[in-house]
Structure 1
Amino acid sequence: MRTNTSFVRLNASDLEHLLMTMERALEVQTRAQFFLWAQGALQGFIAHESLWCAHGDIERMQLRVECFSNGLTSERVDALVTDRADGLLPRLVDDWLRGGRIPRLLSSEGGDQVGRRQLISDLKHCGFNHVAVHGVREMQGSYGSFFVFAGMDHLPSERDAYLLELLMPHMHLALHRMRMREASGSAVDLAPVTLLSKREIQVLHWVKNGKTNMEIGQILGISPPTVKNHLQKVMRKLNVNNRAQAVGKSATLRLMAHSDLN
């Protein structure tokens, strides 16, 4: 699907939302903040199920990949996307490079898909009918970024391509700040304090290990209703609906540091 953003126009409400999204991007320093921005302000513009963010030397396909999902992404799907040999992400990067480094829109519902039918079929096999991808225009060594918006809730259009062009610098810099913060060793310490209490992390750890509320209560020396209350607080803080989603988001945000489980 080729893009032509020449005639895309944003109304006053869109422009206000765009400014707010850009301003919020400037606040992103940690993994938790990036996740909340991507699933909040950014989600309001480009609705998606999962966001894969690759960073590194894009030309040489020497990439590290992060996944930010509003649900629990299965290990099978994540492996199909990120496999370095023939995963979907490196194939999407190659398609983007060959297409002129402009936003690329893929859909199982038609459009200009010449030479991309197998790629689209494989994306659909993972449950993604609509996908949009884009990366930074200027790639310098290890500072390139590439983003895959998978599981969009609508057929991607020129509007989505235009928004990706506008937001790409902010996405790239927010991801870069998050990486630099983690490289300094400070982000892992900040995230649990910012979102969950030590007790909530302990409860979530045992949920991840398949324990019931009664079993968790026995392990931690608290009552089952107290365990339930902690879980309800966790789900509200992470904006999820069930235990599995809470475990999935905590893994994405790296909330369960070993030092908080004792």
Structure 2
Amino acid sequence: MNSSPTPFFRLKASDLEHLLITIEKSLEVQTRTQFYLWAQGALQGFVPHEALWCAWGDVDAMRLKVQMFARGVINPRVESQMTNPTDGVLPRMVDDWLRGGRAPRLLSSEGGEQTGRRQLIGDLQRCGFDHVAAHGVREVQGDYGSFFVFAGLERQPDQRTAYLLELLMPHMHLALHRMRQREADESSTEMAPVTILSKREIQVLHWVRHGKTNFEISQILGISPPTVKNHVQKIMRKLNVNNRAQAVGKSATLRLVTHTDLQEVAR
């Protein structure tokens, strides 16, 4: 549950009617094309935006697949800056959302309550987005969660925006779930989520986090010290960091090493 629930916002009769239409239309979504048409139709009329990034998967472990729906052409460079699994804006927004108690995140170049998010706002501006709102849904009954980023809003998001996101999230989550379930049913070879580090690299990073030297790690894992050194160097390259301490810090932010990871690599 959110640590600070979004305040109630009284909607006008026209807003309530529009909300009902948007929810009804979401129930028709089964395919990617239908999701796109819904996002650019009923949903676009409710929360006007340039691009919508939809992420789903293990949100806490930051293992996500991402799909973008836009009303225009998005520069590939912007797409990469938004979704890069190590330095991308979207993973950092997910982390900000988790740290913020899973409350709607409202980001704007015009100010407001932006403590600790200046770098994030600056990167969004460099992507061409001055006003952004984001929210997600936590895992329910063992299913994956989801996270949505509305980029390029027409105006600075406010408490009304946050309240609307709270109302829309369950329906967006279910529409996205039906879309991906339909695609999974139609394909027997659905791709697994992208994994940044290999199982061996996760093992090495785990012991680096516990302050072990390369020699100590080699004794624990039964490999040579040069092999451990090679793994450490690969980890730092993949995470785009300069030393072991930075690798540990970034892995914590991106939640690359989890209890489940360690159970899997131990098998």
Deviations, residues 120-153 of structure 1 (Å, cap 9, x unaligned): 0000000000000000044555511000000001
Q: Is the 8 A contact 2:55 2:148 kept in 1?
A: yes
Structure 2, gaps ≥5 residues long = 188-267
CA contact (8 A) 2:6 2:103 kept: no
The alignment partner of 1:27 has SS state of: coil
Match of 1:65 in 2: 66
Q: Structure 1: how far apart are the matches of 2:114 and 2:88?
A: 19
Q: SS of the residue aligned with 2:186? A: coil
Match of 2:244 in 1: none
Residue in structure 2 matched with residue 215 of structure 1 by the alignment: none
- Identify if the C-alpha distance between structure 1 residues 130 and 139 changes in structure 2 by more than 3 Å, giving closer, same or farther: farther
Shift of 1:70: 0.3
Question: What letter matches 2:164 in structure 1?
Answer: L
1:8 maps onto 2:9 in alignment:
yes
TM-score (structure 1 length as normaliser): 0.68
**Alignment correspondent of 1:205:** none
Identity rate, percent: 69
Shift of residue 114 of structure 1?
1.0
2:173 equivalent in structure 1: 172
CA distance in structure 1 between the partners assigned to 2:5 and 2:109 by the alignment = 20
SS class of match (1:184): helix
The change in CA–CA distance for 1:104 and 1:140 in structure 2 (over 3 A counts) is farther
Equivalent residue, structure 1, for 2:40: 39
What is the CA–CA distance in structure 1 between the aligned matches of 2:142 and 2:75, rounded to whole Å?
A: 31
Structure 1: gaps (5+ residues): 187-262
Computing the radius of gyration from Cα coordinates, the structure with the larger value is: 2
Matched AA of 2:39 = A
In the alignment, what sits opposite 1:121? 122
Residue type of the alignment partner of 1:174: A
RMSD of aligned Cα (Å): 1.7
Distance in 1 (alpha carbons) for counterparts of 2:6 and 2:185:
39
> C-alpha displacement at 1:67, in angstroms?
0.2
CA–CA distance in structure 1, aligned partners of residues 11 and 41 of structure 2: 19
Deviation readout 1:164-220 (Å, 9 max, x if unpaired): 00000000000000001111127xxxxxxxxxxxxxxxxxxxxxxxxxxxxxxxxxx
Secondary structure, in 3 states, of the residue corresponding to 2:44?
Answer: helix
Is 1:82 aligned to 2:83, yes or no? yes
Query: Which residue number in structure 2 is paired with residue 155 of structure 1?
Result: 156
The answer as to whether partners of 2:138 and 2:146 remain within 8 angstroms in 1 is no
Question: Which amino acid in the other structure matches residue 60 of structure 1?
Answer: A
- Determine the C-alpha separation between the residues in 2 that align with 1:138 and 1:97: 13
Residue aligned with 1:35, SS: helix
Q: 1:56–1:141: 8 Å Cα contact kept in structure 2?
A: no
Q: Is the 8 A contact 1:56 1:63 kept in 2?
A: yes
Q: Measure the CA separation in 1 of the matches of 2:153 and 2:142.
A: 30
Match of 1:104 in 2: 105
Report the Cα distance in structure 2 between the residues aligned to 1:29 and 1:9, rounded to whole angstroms: 31
**Secondary structure at 1:109 match in 2:** coil
Other-structure match for 2:92: 91
Contact in 2 for aligned 1:55/1:142 (Cα 8 Å)? no
Partner of 1:193: none
* 1:130–1:153 contact (8 Å) kept in structure 2: yes
The aligned residue for residue 255 of structure 2 is none
CA distance in 1, matches of 2:177, 2:76: 25
Moved over 3 A (4+): 137-142
| Matched-pair contact (CA < 8 Å) for 2:104–2:133 | yes
Q: Output the TM-score relative to the length of structure 2.
A: 0.67
Q: Partner letter of residue 15 of structure 2?
A: D
